[in-house]
Structure 1
Amino acid sequence: MSPLWLLILILVLAIAGFAIGRTRAMASVDDHRKLHSRPNYYGTNVAMLAFAPAALLLAVWVVAQPIVINASVSHLIPETSYEDAGALNLIMSDVKRVAEGLDVAVAQGALSAEEARSIRTEFTDVRARLGEVGVALGANVDRDVLRAAQAYRARAATGTWFMTAAVLIVALAGFFFAIREARGDFRARNRVENGILTLLITAASIAILTTLGIVLSLLFNTIEFFRLYPALDFFTRLEWAPSFSGRGGASALGILPLLWGTFYISIVALLVATPIGLFAAIYLSEYASKRVRAFAKPLLEVLAGIPTIVYGLFALLTVGPLLVSVFGNGGLLGVDWMGGGRAVMTAGITMGVMLIPFVSSLSDDIINAVPQAMRDGSYGLGATQSETVRQVVLPAALPGIVGAVLLAASRAIGETMIVVLGAGAAARMSLNPFEAMTTVTAKIVSQLTGDSDFASPEALVAFALGITLFVVTLGLNVLALYIVRKYREQYE
């Protein structure tokens, strides 16, 4: 049984358990007031015990089964067929693809179950047979890959059978155990509330563990990179010139030019987004009528829903040529500052437009959260509306506004597509905002695009760049927290 149908089955069992548990608890007493908990708690207890443990087991099994099968089947691939773990992973992806293709062929009747188990590359063009049922393979299937795929398929079928049995046993055990407890003196509410508390703790733990997993996945590959490339050179060199196989020369992998481009473009973006977004928020919250606010605020927030690739095309086709027509050779100002459309200013201005709704929406909500009593007190002392906004509202909302700006800064530092299309790919350290530069995120993409050899420093450097970017954004968040706490103490 597929995991989806299995999940639906235990969900139906849980729904039935809710009705049965509620009815059984009410039937166990002659007066409903003698129940320890409300009737719905007894039904929820049955549904919870029938569904939650089985669903958890199903989730763990679905995640763990491919990993276990992959590890048990990989030894069927001869060591002479691959050089490192990366090459083995590529081969195992082909194995899984062939195994799935055999399942499709059996399901469509192109192959019988026996033929799928006994097919041989010496007598059959497996790639062509699978292509007939719509399974496209990038290369011919050799004997070792086919044998591993058949083993993978057999073990996956066995694992699915055991998964179905185990999940149903756990669901039924929880169902009948909870039904037996559906009595009037049972403390069902306590059980349900503890279950909800466990669910909340689990959700919080998943968020924390996910962050930890991201950090560890970056950290291990970063350590491997620093075994191949000196950490001192990575953090101090002023040159970024990776040399992949076949190009000759040694790679120069200095992060400073990339960090400079990242911060330069982000600063330009914030110089555009912060005043426009903040002034828009002040107008919408303090001066605009309800009709204008109802029209302008959703229209402004539409900018947040535009894909970044569209902003990149806007930078490439509109902002860049417009800046060249003003600052380029033969432009309106008669200067030759800008040689092409891709530059820091192009990406920065476009990114600033993208960040306006981040600053304006958050700042608007924060300004509206300032107590009206503070405004009324200011008006009562004779202050005008502009003086109230400047001297009362904005200082009270400052921690939230700083948080909004720093959130926009984190968003700017992590942007990729606008930089790729608007700022170019040149890694340089220059103060000229009309020159092409690049950022950390753009180079992470370029280093991992195409066939990447994860045993080379040129590919592993992407993880070092990633963890550096993570530390930078973490520092911004810590700074925002410090500022918020400092100024919150002043106004509480």
Structure 2
Amino acid sequence: MSTIYLAALLVLVLASFVMGRGRALSLQAGGTAKLHSLPSYHGWWVVAAAAAPMILVMVLWSALVPGLIEAAALGSLPPAMQPSDPLARATLLREIANLNAGTFTGEARPEVAAAAAAMKSWSTVSDWARLAVGLGLGGVGLWWALNQVDVRFRARNRVERVVLWIMIACSVVAVLTTVGIVFSVLFESLRFFARYPWYDFLFGLQWSPQTAIRTDQVGQSGAFGAVPLFVGTALIMVIAMCVAVPVGLFSAIYMAEYASPRIRATAKPILEILAGVPTVVFGFFAALTVAPMIRSAGVSLGLDVASESALAAGLVMGVMIIPFVSSLSDDIINAVPQSLRDGSYAMGATRSETIRKVVLPAALPGIVSAIMLAISRAVGETMIVVMAAGLAANLTFNPLEAVTTVTVQIKTLLVGDQEFDSAKTLSAFALGFVLFFFTLSLNVIALKIVQKYREQYD
């Protein structure tokens, strides 16, 4: 039914635009005064007036009615079968949903089958009622907007105001989404810190999150010292940036300042292909090609190299994020005004001196932003680390040993059937909060650098 509703909304939008624009064209053809707004603006105003009620009905109906139907279906069960806690309620609703979807295996209880049939019937009636109410209100909006179409009607102003409110709403949704993510992670982190001291988490040197489910099991309390994870994350990130920043920045300088248009048109798309390669492919490349090569080279030099190492993961990750540095830096260098270059040449500077002393300082804010974006991408990478660096939480600065990162441990802690009330699972949220704080700090530092040099070169 949702598909039918969206199809009806699309038909109403098309009809509204055609009717509104047609009404304005008829006034323009038969009237003596010129329309204040173009006919297309009148059409879009009618679209806004007709579509807004249908969209509002869809949102409110989806938010309120399903909960009422579920409550009514559960209320139809005998008192002895009424759920006593949220888990029992969720189990009953899942059983009812499986019965209505035809995926329930086994013999259903007659009371639950009756409740499922009633819920399905009420849902069907609700869907048709939603469609009728939405079309009715949309038709009222269409009629009202068509009556407003006039020679002196300021349709352009109305449409621009509607677009402004849409952009404000999108901004509010983005901000509220960010705030919701932060607070959800924060609250779960506080639950973890209520069970495990925050200073032991931030400064502890042993990471072993395995905890016992029952009191008679061995290892009833895990060790949640996250320093090995922070060190592993930083080690792989530094190796990756040592590859990505020089290669990406020098390639951007070459394409922007030295390459001919033909070479640039060929080299830049080829370089940006790396951004479209799935990370699992890079992970296979690191595990099957780079890691054995590093191990073979280390053995030939008499070094003890692990089969999974931070060096292998960092090198491949650096190759993966080269486009983030090169493409953005290339666009930023090209955006530097040509007048700065011409002034430098007029003072007798060579091309290399102009690039080092004029172009790069002027483009530094954008280059820093590109590097910070690449660092955030490196910190958040999981698949390459899993396949090339391993899962061992070793506290080491040796790039030839196996390490793990914060994101890998978050993935490991939240995979499979987990008890979301245990310290083991809650520690993943604490790791996520620390990672969020780290990336936020990087962005603040980048913003300060950008502001400093932007004031100097604007």
TM-score greater than 0.5 by the shorter chain = yes
Question: Partners in 2 of 1:4 and 1:243 — Cα distance?
Answer: 46
Question: Partners in 2 of 1:264 and 1:148 — Cα distance?
Answer: 57
3-state secondary structure, aligned to 1:296: helix
**CA distance 1:83–1:391, change in 2 (3 Å):** farther
**CA distance 1:484–1:78, change in 2 (3 Å):** farther
Question: Partners in 1 of 2:196 and 2:125 — Cα distance?
Answer: 45
Answer yes or no: is 1:344 the counterpart of 2:344: no
Structure 1 residue runs without a partner (length 5+): 103-125, 129-139
State the partner residue of 2:278. Answer: 307
CA RMSD between the two structures: 2.6
Alignment deviations for residues 360-404 of structure 1 (CA, whole Å, 9 cap, x no partner): 101111111111111111111111111111111111111111111
Deviation at 1:17, TM superposition (A): 2.1
Q: How many residues align?
A: 452
2:126 to 149, 159, 168: 159
Worse-matched range after superposition: 48-57 or 170-179: 48-57
State the partner residue of 1:353. Answer: 319
1:242 to 194, 209, 219: 209
Question: Partners in 2 of 1:151 and 1:3 — Cα distance?
Answer: 20
Contact 2:201 2:225 in 1 (8 A): yes
Amino acid at match of 2:49: L
**CA distance 1:27–1:387, change in 2 (3 Å):** closer
**CA distance 1:80–1:56, change in 2 (3 Å):** closer
Contact 2:233 2:406 in 1 (8 A): yes
1:199 to 148, 166, 169: 166
Question: Partners in 1 of 2:423 and 2:198 — Cα distance?
Answer: 12
Contact 2:341 2:354 in 1 (8 A): yes
**CA distance 1:92–1:481, change in 2 (3 Å):** farther
Alignment deviations for residues 277-335 of structure 1 (CA, whole Å, 9 cap, x no partner): 111111111111112111111111000000001111111101110100111xxx221x2
State the partner residue of 1:12. Answer: 11
**CA distance 1:22–1:261, change in 2 (3 Å):** same
**CA distance 1:82–1:316, change in 2 (3 Å):** farther
Answer yes or no: is 1:99 the counterpart of 2:77: no
Worse-matched range after superposition: 269-278 or 469-478: 469-478
3-state secondary structure, aligned to 2:300: coil
Worse-matched range after superposition: 68-77 or 265-274: 68-77
**CA distance 1:26–1:285, change in 2 (3 Å):** closer
State the partner residue of 1:462. Answer: 428
Task: Give TM-score scaled by structure 1 length.
Answer: 0.85
Contact 1:427 1:438 in 2 (8 A): yes
Question: Partners in 2 of 1:143 and 1:251 — Cα distance?
Answer: 46
Question: Partners in 1 of 2:398 and 2:116 — Cα distance?
Answer: 57
Deviation at 1:82, TM superposition (A): 8.9
3-state secondary structure, aligned to 1:33: coil
State the partner residue of 1:317. Answer: 288
Question: Partners in 1 of 2:201 and 2:72 — Cα distance?
Answer: 39
Deviation at 1:78, TM superposition (A): 9.2
Task: Give TM-score scaled by structure 2 length.
Answer: 0.91
Question: Partners in 1 of 2:430 and 2:148 — Cα distance?
Answer: 55
Matched ranges for 1:366-385 at <5 A? 366-385=332-351
Matched ranges for 1:20-419 at <5 A? 20-28=19-27, 30-31=30-31, 33-70=33-70, 85=86, 89=90, 92-101=93-102, 127=105, 141=108, 146=113, 149-244=116-211, 245=213, 248-249=218-219, 250-327=221-298, 331-333=299-301, 335-338=302-305, 340-419=306-385
Amino acid at match of 2:45: N
**Moved runs in structure 1, 4+ residues, more than 4 A?**
26-30, 63-91, 140-148
Question: Partners in 1 of 2:89 and 2:207 — Cα distance?
Answer: 31
State the partner residue of 1:108. Answer: none
Question: Partners in 2 of 1:399 and 1:375 — Cα distance?
Answer: 18
Question: Partners in 1 of 2:84 and 2:208 — Cα distance?
Answer: 27
1:424 to 390, 408, 421: 390
Contact 1:77 1:148 in 2 (8 A): no
Deviation at 1:28, TM superposition (A): 5.0
Question: Partners in 2 of 1:295 and 1:93 — Cα distance?
Answer: 55
State the partner residue of 2:457. Answer: 491
**CA distance 1:26–1:282, change in 2 (3 Å):** closer
**CA distance 1:487–1:91, change in 2 (3 Å):** farther
3-state secondary structure, aligned to 1:436: coil
Deviation at 1:153, TM superposition (A): 2.4
Deviation at 1:433, TM superposition (A): 1.1
**CA distance 1:471–1:424, change in 2 (3 Å):** same
Worse-matched range after superposition: 275-284 or 246-255: 246-255
3-state secondary structure, aligned to 1:451: coil
3-state secondary structure, aligned to 1:127: coil
Question: Partners in 1 of 2:48 and 2:382 — Cα distance?
Answer: 44
**CA distance 1:81–1:162, change in 2 (3 Å):** closer
Contact 2:231 2:397 in 1 (8 A): no
Contact 2:333 2:360 in 1 (8 A): yes
Deviation at 1:67, TM superposition (A): 4.9
Question: Partners in 1 of 2:51 and 2:396 — Cα distance?
Answer: 60
**CA distance 1:259–1:154, change in 2 (3 Å):** farther
Amino acid at match of 2:105: R
**CA distance 1:452–1:72, change in 2 (3 Å):** farther
**CA distance 1:94–1:262, change in 2 (3 Å):** farther
**CA distance 1:353–1:178, change in 2 (3 Å):** same
**CA distance 1:89–1:387, change in 2 (3 Å):** farther
Give the share of equivalent positions with the same residue, in percent: 47
3-state secondary structure, aligned to 2:102: helix
Deviation at 1:262, TM superposition (A): 1.1
Question: Partners in 2 of 1:289 and 1:315 — Cα distance?
Answer: 34
Question: Partners in 2 of 1:54 and 1:455 — Cα distance?
Answer: 41
**CA distance 1:436–1:142, change in 2 (3 Å):** farther
Question: Partners in 2 of 1:79 and 1:278 — Cα distance?
Answer: 70
